[in-house]
Amino acid sequence: MDPVQLSIFANRLAGICDEMGALLRASALSPNIKDRLDFSCAIFDAAGGLCAQAAHIPVHLGSMAYAMADLVEGRDWRPGDLLVVNDPYLGGTHLPDVTVVAPVFAGERLAAFTVTRAHHANIGAHSPGSMPVSRTLDEEGLVIAPQWLKREGDWQLPLSRRLGEGDELPLDVPRFADFAAQASACEAGARRLAALIGERGLEALRASLDALNTYGERRMCQRLADLADGEYRFSDVMDDDGQGRFDIPLVVTLRVEGDGAELDFTGTADQVSGNINCPLSVAAAAAYYCFRCLLPDDAPSCAGLFRPIALSAPAGSLVNARRPGAVAAGNVETSSRIVDVVLGALAQALPGEIPAASQGTMNNLAMGESGEGGARPWDYYETMAGGMGGHRHGDGLAAVHSHMTNTLNTPIESLEEHYPLRVRRYGLRRGSGGEGAHRGGDGIERELEFLAPASFTLLTERRRHRPWGLEGGGPGAAGENRLNGEALPPKFTGHARPGDRLLLASPGGGGYGLTENEQKNREIGKVS
């Protein structure tokens, strides 16, 4: 296919994903979606192969790319259908992330799928925010096996009412509004894609997708050929699982041969009692993200891009958990550590091209009130920024969401408008970045005052073990959680009274390279 026409085609697909995201953001009601942008949009072919995605949430998109083929195969798809699912063991991530899938038809033939995935702060867990310190999947909320949200254009009212927790028509239930927004975004994307197919014809679309995947595979193979053949091993640990187990190892071996690569997670701990387990689809998302970062922005985000990368992990391990293992934090915290170990291995294969470790956590905070005793029910969830690692070309960025999360913060105005909270402190955690020729970025400090009684949950990492530096750079500062000045553990559930203050201080990024003084001291040592 002509390179210019292929580029236009790829950008038209990506543009449809961007439009889906804009519509989803504009029509959703919850701050999680409209303010934090905790959602993702993508297009898949009729077999479930990734065609295009917007620059949304890496852990959403990579896991969908890994598992969509199994999700869509063998179903009686009809025009107007919408499928909904959140089961982590069937291609999901964790229960709050709900996926909606719409088929696209060319005449009577199934041509493609449009997909949205968005985080819902209330998915039915007993703890507000639906991010509990859990031991089983069932404790984390409503598990939605793949089922029809719409069938041939008709809302399936029993499921819709269950999702909306109401007895009225689903579109009249405020809690259902975000599901309706996802449905609208999928349907709008399907219309755009159907129009594109109408212009080009289905066979031309398939030929273009084949060309796009071939091109993506070639780009990745060319990049992998830059890596020195060999075996590279890197390990790190998770702080704890929230159930009394600490320093849980996560190990990867990267094998490079020619223009292919294999990631083997043998040596990683078995799945644990707590909720830092993750299904293999989440591990794949983190791995794919790392390799995608090796390519320039103009490389297409399609299935062909990941064909040269093989992935294996022992069944029943932390990164390939078995049902009914709890996974609420695996999607957010373990995925972040997978990125750390894969990048650590890549740093050996590509010296000078990989940054030091970023904060390595999403600093998850969930809170709210169930509504018992006549109180107004509310649910709030947020991930918080931290420092990025320094690199050969400069210092790491401060106060940003990095790697597997690509959300924004909840603006103070929105937070205080929607919830009985007041932001008492919000700023840089100065000096938290690691020392080095290029410093790690600083984390943040965010202190919330409770204006009403509430329950809260913390799912955090890098409180015991600091983000590592590279090439002689120092580690970033570990994070801290405090309630009224008293230290809290990384995983914690508690109750707050009016006037209580909760502080999250996020980790800084690791430093890169020796400082000038360290270099001078090293030279003096060599001479002496």
Give the model's pLDDT for residue 31. Answer: 87
The pLDDT score that the predictor gives to residue 164 is 76
CB atoms within 10 A of CB 347: 20
Q: pLDDT tier at 194 (50, 70, 90 boundaries)?
A: very high
The whole-angstrom separation of Cα 495 and Cα 368 is 10
Amino acid 1: pLDDT: 74
Quickly count: other Cβ atoms within 10 Å of residue 379's Cβ: 24
Confidence of residue 470 (pLDDT cuts 50, 70, 90): very high
Residue 151: in which H helix or E strand, if any?
strand 147-151
Q: Express each pLDDT in 391-403 by its tens digit.
A: 999 999 999 999 9
Describe the strand order of the beta sheet including 454-459 as a list of residue ranges: 378-382, 364-369, 454-459, 491-496
What's the confidence (pLDDT) of residue 326? Answer: 97
Percent of the chain whose pLDDT exceeds 90: 78
> Is residue 164 helix, strand or coil?
helix
Of 192-196, 330-334, 350-354, 367-371, the range with the lowest mean pLDDT is: 367-371
pLDDT of residue 405: 84
Burial of 391 (0-12, 13-18, 19+ CB in 10 A): buried
Helix (H) or strand (E) holding 51: strand 50-53
Q: In sequence order, which residues have a C-beta less than 8 Å from that of residue 246 and are 6 or more positions away?
A: 239, 240, 464
Closest CA to 509 of 455, 451, 429, 447: 429
- What is the pLDDT at residue 67? 75
DSSP state of 330: I
Check pLDDT > 90 for residue 375: no
- Of the pLDDT bands very low, low, confident and very high (cuts 50, 70, 90), residue 61 is low
Instruction: Spell out the alpha helix ranges (H) of 121-277.
Output: 157-164, 177-200, 202-224
Q: Give the CA diameter of the chain.
A: 82
Tens of pLDDT along 89-148? 988 889 999 999 999 999 999 999 999 999 998 898 888 889 999 999 999 999 999 999
Predicted local confidence at residue 235, as pLDDT: 98
The per-residue pLDDT for 169 is 45
Q: How confident is the model at residue 377 (pLDDT cuts 50, 70, 90)?
A: confident
pLDDT at 371 over 70: no
Non-local CB neighbours of 486 within 8 Å, separated by 6+ positions:
none
Q: What is the pLDDT of residue 171?
A: 45
Of 506, 516, 499, 443, nearest to 480 (Cα)? Answer: 506
> Which tens digit of pLDDT belongs to each residue from 444-466?
999 999 999 999 999 999 999 99
CA distance 383 to 174: 23
- Hey, how many other C-beta atoms are within 10 angstroms of the C-beta on 302? 27
* Most confidently predicted of 27-36, 173-182, 331-340: 331-340
Q: In percent, how much of the chain has pLDDT > 70?
A: 95
Rounded Cα–Cα distance for residues 466 and 356 (Å): 12
Q: How do residues 238-247 score in pLDDT, each as one tens digit?
A: 999 999 999 9
pLDDT value for 70 = 86
pLDDT band at 170 (very low <50, low <70, confident <90, very high): very low
| Average pLDDT score over residue span 229-245 | 98
- Please report the pLDDT score of residue 75 as a whole number: 94
The mean-pLDDT minimum among 151-165, 259-273, 298-312, 502-516 falls in 151-165
**pTM value > 0.85:** yes
Weakest mean pLDDT among 11-25, 159-173, 412-426? 159-173
pLDDT, residue 69, reads 86
CA angle 338, 261, 291 (to 5 degrees): 50
The 3-state DSSP class for residue 46 equals coil
Return d(Cα 51, Cα 67) in angstroms, integer.
14
pLDDT at 83: 96
For residue 78, pLDDT beyond 90: yes
